[in-house]
Amino acid sequence: MENYVFHWNVVFKAFPQLLGGAFTTLHVSVLSMLVGIAIAVLLALGKMSHSKILVMASSSWIEIARNTPALFQIYMAYFGLGAFGINLSPYFAVFSALVFVNAGYLAETFRGGFQSIPKTQYSAAKSLGMTTFQVYRYVILPQMFRRIYHPMTNQFVWSILMSSLGILVGMNELSGETQRLQSVSFRTLEFFIVAAVMYFVITKFVLLTSSLIAKRIFKGDIA
């Protein structure tokens, strides 16, 4: 390390831009998570349905999402779709790749959570005179939510970490912004150290918040 002198000043000056990048990172992860959850519900329902076509379609989405690298999916969205004349912006390419993966992983989580609740509970609730809506609202969904809460948190953290791949397609999230700033200042090490710390803080913050929320809504008894 004797030849390398750290210059932190330039990083401090660029800090607002880094914060902007961090905001974009959160932004894209939250949005991709929300859309991913919506699609995942549909995929899970599709996989549990009786129609062969729906089962096939949702299974192939799920298996492709789970068995190929995230980087491949981002390349596919950014470079591959160009062959069809669809040119996505870097933000949208990363966003759609994350949605694709999130939906695939969460669909399996939802399906597992749903199937982990014994069918007998449904019959029991029905025999107590509940309507179908009430059965789901008061019996099935609360238990299911408890079981899928932690996998969902993990998936969210994963989205935050994987949105860092935006660096490769020139997106302006935290890594991309870091890359741009280091290329104009040549302080590679300093900028990436700060970026690493920021990712660590964001992830820890998300995990801490999620466990606080879990304590609050599950009142201590977490499945």
Partner 1 sequence: MNLFTPLSWNDSGFILNGILNTIYISVVAIVIGTILGLIVGFMRVEANKVVNLFLGSALDILRSVPLIIQLILFSTYIGALGHPMDPFMAGSIILSLYTMAFMSEVFRSGFESVPNTMRTAARSLGMTYWQTVRYIRIPIGMRAVFPSWLGVALSVIKDSALVSVIGYMELLRTSEQLISRTQQPLTILLGVGLFYFIISYPLSLYGKYVERKMSI
Sole binder of partner 1 in the list 12, 13, 63, 215 (CB under 8 A): 63
Give me the 175-204 binding string for partner 1, x by CB under 8 A, dash otherwise.
Answer: x--x---------xx--xx-xx--xx--xx
Residue number, 87 or 134, with CB nearest to partner 1: 87
Secondary structure string (H, E, C) spanning the chain? CCCCCCCCHHHHHCHHHHHHHHHHHHHHHHHHHHHHHHHHHHHHHHHHCCCHHHHHHHHHHHHHHHHCCHHHHHHHHHCHHHHHCCCCCHHHHHHHHHHHHHHHHHHHHHHHHHHCCCHHHHHHHHHCCCCHHHHHHHHHHHHHHHHHHHHHHHHHHHHHHHHHHHHHCCCCCHHHHHHHHHHHHCCHHHHHHHHHHHHHHHHHHHHHHHHHHHHHHHCCCCC
Compute the least distance from the CB of residue 124 to partner 1, in Å: 24
Compute the least distance from the CB of residue 88 to partner 1, in Å: 13
Give me the 72-111 binding string for partner 1, x by CB under 8 A, dash otherwise.
Answer: x--xx--xx-xxx---------------------------
Residues that bind partner 1 (CB under 8 A): 1, 3-4, 63-64, 66-72, 75-76, 79-80, 82-84, 157, 161-162, 164-165, 167-168, 175, 178, 188-189, 192-193, 195-196, 199-200, 203-204
